[in-house]
Amino acid sequence: MAYSPKSSGIRIGMVSPYGWDTPGGVQAHIRDLAKYYIDQGHYVSVLAPVSREESLADDFVVPAGRPISIPYNGAVARVLFGPVAASRVRQWISQGNFDLLHLHEPAIPSLSLLACWIGEGPMVGTFHAAAPKQKVAFAVSPLLEPVIEKLSARIAVSEIARETLTIHLETDAIVIPNGIDVDFFAKSEPKVEWQNGNTIGFIGRFEEPRKGLQILIDALPIISRFVPDVKVLIAGPGESAEILKSTNSQLRSKLSFLGRISEADKGSFLKSIDLYVAPNTGGESFGIILTEALASETAIVASDIPAFRNLLNGGEYGA
């Protein structure tokens, strides 16, 4: 847990529904928000599923147990739910003596939903999901509605996330986009080994089809025809061997897989590349990586999906 040296702050308990050591926009948002609150003089404790406690670097995170993987919204969500998880949530709330609980994605089976059930007093819920056609996760919406009504305030990270909330739970939220540490990305330094002159960057869980890496690879023959020395830097978890195996042998040398990179290296990554490509096929409610690329002053080409179109203002800030 993390205490601020200032004494005028309040005690904030935040809950992450997704595995903390799995890269994702929700976790990045929670991390940035927690650090901001701490800098502002507040006490912050984040309860989250954690797969590898020994590698946990954030001292404000309280591990709640190992997550399990479930299919959700075209991806794989790593969440924690059930009686044992509920007991840990109850203990964390009891010991935390919080002035405010901030629950992320409290409408899906997760620690956040458990905290919404168990918690009392001021609670804020932030909704990230963009799944207007998703029915499975919201099939129990009649049971969820009384729980969601316990929230003192509801936030949606985008208009698309708000629409998802109103469609499935017949409630509303105020739209507050995700914030990032602009100075961090603006002041990050590039890495020489990542610079090529014509380098495309991609960050994400590339084994998930909706992240769209295959679309970028399929376009590589055309790109390399016009830019022969193009290189593609790919950062994120996943097995690169299968992708390389299915890629044209003449193009494999143009792909470089970096594996998972740290938050510090993400800033350097975005400063090192010439173009960030987001070929996602859907299921995105915001696109925090695009805001980070903008803060890094890196050019962007993104899929024409609603979340990206809105964030880039119809092409004003990227193509």
Read off φ and ψ for residue 256, nearest 5 degrees.
-130, 115
Which run of H or E residues covers position 118? helix 111-118
For residues 293, 297, 303, 305, the Cα torsion angle rounded to the nearest 10 degrees is: 70
| All residues at 6 or more sequence positions from 56 whose CB lies less than 8 Å from its CB, including other chains | 20, 21, 50, 63
C-alpha torsion angle, residues 209, 213, 218, 223 (rounded to 10): 160
Mean pLDDT value across residues 173-186? 92
Q: Can you say how many angstroms the Cα of residue 219 is from the centroid of all Cα atoms in its chain?
A: 26
Mean pLDDT of the chain: 88
Give residue 6's pLDDT.
Answer: 46
Res 235 pLDDT > 90: yes
Q: State the pLDDT at residue 78.
A: 80
Residue 1 has pLDDT above 50, yes or no: no
pLDDT bracket for residue 249 (50, 70, 90): confident
CA 254 to mean position of chain CA atoms = 27
Return the pLDDT at 213: 93
End-to-end CA distance of the chain: 41
Q: Looking at the DSSP assignment, which residues form a beta bridge with residue 60? A: none
Of 163-172, 221-230, 232-241, the range with the lowest mean pLDDT is: 163-172
Q: Which of 118, 123, 127 is nearest to 99 (CA)?
A: 123
Per-residue pLDDT at 4: 47
Number of Cα atoms under 13 Å in the Cβ half of residue 61:
26
d(CA 68, CA 115): 18
Q: Looking at residue 133, what is its pLDDT?
A: 53
77 or 310: whose pLDDT is higher?
Answer: 310
> Residue 236: pLDDT above 60?
yes
Q: What's the CA gap between 104 and 101, in Å, rounded?
A: 10
Distances (CA, A) of 186 to 38, 270, 274, 286: 22, 10, 15, 20
Confidence of residue 242 (pLDDT cuts 50, 70, 90): confident
112-146 per-position pLDDT tens digit: 999 999 999 999 999 998 765 554 454 456 667 78
Instruction: Say what the pLDDT of residue 20 is.
Output: 93
Structural fold of domain 11-175? Rossmann fold (3.40.50)
Low-confidence winner among 8-12, 129-133, 225-229 (lowest mean pLDDT): 129-133
Q: What angle do CA 125, 127, 128 make, to 5 degrees?
A: 145
CATH 3.40.50.2000 domain extents, the chain: 11-175, 182-315
- Please state the pTM of the whole predicted model: 0.82
pLDDT of residue 165: 83
* Each residue's pLDDT tens digit, 265-279: 999 999 999 999 999
Query: 143-170 pLDDT, tens per residue?
Result: 677 888 899 999 999 988 898 888 877 7
State the Cα–Cα distance between residues 237 and 264, nearest whole angstrom.
16
* Dihedral in degrees, nearest 10, Cα atoms 72, 49, 176, 313: -50
Homologous superfamily of 182-315: Glycogen Phosphorylase B; (3.40.50.2000)
Top pLDDT among 282 and 77 is at: 282
| Distance from C-alpha of 285 to C-alpha of 292, rounded to nearest angstrom | 15
